[in-house]
Amino acid sequence: MKVIIVGAHGEAKELINRISSGWSISIIDLDQDKLRNFNTNRQIEKIQGDATSSLVLKKAGLDSTTAVITLTLNDEVNLEVLKIARENDIFRLSSVVNESSNTENYKNLGAEVVEPDILLARRFEHILEPRRVVSQAFAGGRAEAIEIEISSDSPVRGKKLREIGSDYYIVGALLRQGKVIIPHGDTEIETGDLVTIVLQSGAFSNVINLFSGSESRYPLEYGKNILVILENKDNLKNLSESEFYTRNTKADSLMVLTKENLFDNNLESTDETFKAILKDQEFEMNLKSKISNKDIENIVTEGSIGTIFHPVEEGISKAKIKSLINISNKTKTPVLFSKSTYPYKTIGILVNNNFGESTSNSIAFDLASSLSASLVAVNITQPKFLQSEDTAHISDSLEKMQDLALSYEVQLDFENHEGNEAKIFSELSSKFDLSIIGNSKNQSWQSRKTTEFISNNSKSSVLYIPS
């Protein structure tokens, strides 16, 4: 993740010394002497020049930048820099306001505005760092109070305080649905809680990791086993991908649903073939004369299935794709349409496919983290003359993704496109080893068709996450 800071001032030093190591930093200033004497505890790129020049901003890495912060004493300069950043599809913008009369101009650009000095640094810290709402030092710097909003993927969600207690921090209060709660040992932490924590200064990163959620747990939230469906001999090549998937997630074992006559009714031959492909991976075999949707649903319901794994070979019927998506929605279990494009080094996720209402975002980062893969977020919009909805939620989604990238320490890139969502993402999937798409509670007809089209036509394996 990259941030460009304009203005080599004391606030910039304070900010740079506080933000996490996940940020790559470039600082721009007109004054060469100020840059020469601008020293921090971090390795940064110093660029002398006029930041209102697109060429100077490009030199600073504008094309790959996540956030831009302007700290100059000239509002005109700050606003021009932010305008250029906005035109280059950078959504995380922040600035100091020198004259209060200019505040509205900053807000019109979608920029966060803050006050100078230490308050400024602390406010920017909140903007840049994930899930930290307040960070306030006291007791001569020996202690710190922070507020963290508990997300659905937080490791402490559903746990009682006595289960997560420690000598280096205490939970002082919870804000839940507008009501302040003074907690005790049996208080259970819930999604959406705003938790106030007092901690020793040196324990900051440990507390953030514990409460914010950055450990890989997928697919345990759905089930501990993987169900792979094999309907013919050609599907055997996909069995290796399911073995890779199982080993590189938190799943325990494989369950194989296949036909009795896969190898001319030779059960021993079938078992030996599976063992050879799966090596020492534990698996359970289920044989059926004919595999029905009911069979799949029963196994998913009774077998603690975290992902349904189904090969997609050339000529697979649209009805089969649709039926598997329906089973996924009905059982609330992800389905992976396998095309043997493992190992997953690059993962693509469709941002505006009901992104804000699904869990596909957190799962994408979970998988990318456990697989040491890079993640590409693809945002596809309709042509401007066809757009009927406010796209502000997209900016919010992208900011949330940037926070997750920092939390999970995942390399995140963005791509913006305009046109037919299903066709463009399917074409782009040739660059990915795994594509991830999500669903919402109120999936439209068009969105369902998009999901079916991508699942069938993607060049990579596709992981579909139900609501």
Amino acid at 34: K
Give the model confidence (pLDDT) of 105-136 as tens digits: 998 999 988 755 555 565 566 566 655 545 56
Report the chain's mean pLDDT, rounded to a whole number. 84
Percent of the chain residues topping a pLDDT of 90: 43
The pLDDT of residue 354 is 46
Q: In the predicted model, is pLDDT for residue 436 greater than 60?
A: yes
Whether residue 357 contacts residue 467, with contact meaning beta carbons closer than 8 Å, is answered with yes
Q: Please say if the pLDDT value at position 245 is more than 60.
A: yes
| pLDDT single digits (tens) 44-60 | 999 999 999 999 999 99
pLDDT in tens, 59-111: 999 999 999 999 999 999 999 999 999 999 998 999 988 888 888 999 899 99
Q: At residue 222, what is the residue type?
A: Y
Using alpha carbons, list the distances in angstroms from residue 250 to 280, 335, 389, 446.
16, 16, 38, 33
Residue 56 makes CB contacts below 8 A (sequence gap 6+) with 28, 47, 49, 50
> Could you tell me which residues come within 8 angstroms of residue 142 by beta carbon, excluding any fewer than 6 positions away?
200, 201
**pLDDT tens for residues 262-310?**
766 555 677 788 888 888 788 888 888 888 999 999 999 998 999 999 9
Do the strands 335-338 and 92-96 form a parallel or antiparallel pair, or are they unpaired?
unpaired
Pairing mode, strands 143-149 and 132-138: antiparallel
Q: What is the tens place of the pLDDT at every residue in 132-141?
A: 545 566 665 5
In this prediction, residue 228 carries a pLDDT of: 93
Q: Provide φ and ψ at 438, rounded to 5°.
A: -120, 175
Q: Which pLDDT does position 266 carry in this prediction? A: 58
Report the run of H or E that residue 259 belongs to, with start and end.
strand 253-259
Helix (H) or strand (E) holding 60: none
Tokens of 242: 């399911």
* 413 token code pair: 């890139």
Percentage of residues in the chain having pLDDT higher than 70: 84
In the predicted structure, residue 358 carries a pLDDT above the cut 50: no
pTM: 0.65
Which of the 8 DSSP states describes residue 69?
E
pLDDT value at residue 121: 64
Give CA separation, 276 vs 252, 272, 279, in Å.
19, 6, 5
Under the banding of pLDDT at 50, 70 and 90, the label for residue 7 is: very high
Specify the pLDDT at position 220.
85
Integer Cα distance of 383 and 386 in angstroms = 5
Going along the chain from its start, the domains and CATH numbers come out as: 2-128 (3.40.50.720), 132-212 (3.30.70.1450), 225-338 (3.40.50.620), 346-465 (3.40.50.620)
Measuring CA to CA, which residue among 437, 426, 283 is closest to residue 364? 437
Do residues 343 and 317 make contact, with C-beta atoms less than 8 angstroms apart? no
Q: Work out whether strand 335-338 and strand 346-350 pair parallel, antiparallel, or are unpaired.
A: unpaired
Closest CA to 379 of 359, 350, 358: 350
DSSP 3-state percent helix, strand, coil across the chain (nearest 5): 40, 25, 35
- Tell me how far apart the alpha carbons of residues 136 and 198 are, in angstroms, rounded to a whole number: 10
Looking only at the bridges linking them, the beta strands covering 179-181 and 169-176 are antiparallel
Structure letter (DSSP) for residue 422: H
Query: Nearest to residue 358, comparing CAs of 436, 246, 259, 454?
Result: 436
DSSP 382: -
Residue 344's pLDDT band (cuts 50, 70, 90) = very high
**What is the pLDDT averaged over residues 329-334?**
93
Position 359 confidence tier, pLDDT thresholds 50, 70, 90: low
Confidence of residue 214 (pLDDT cuts 50, 70, 90): low
Q: Where does 23-142 show beta strands of DSSP type E?
A: 24-29, 45-48, 67-70, 92-96, 112-114, 132-138
Q: CA of 223: how far to CAs of 307, 344, 361, 381, in Å?
A: 8, 21, 18, 34
In this model, does residue 19 exceed pLDDT 80? Answer: yes
pLDDT average, residue stretch 379-397: 65
pLDDT digits (tens, 9 = 90+) for 361-378: 778 888 998 899 999 999
CA distance 368 to 248: 10
Joined together, the tokens standing for residue 436 give 């991830």
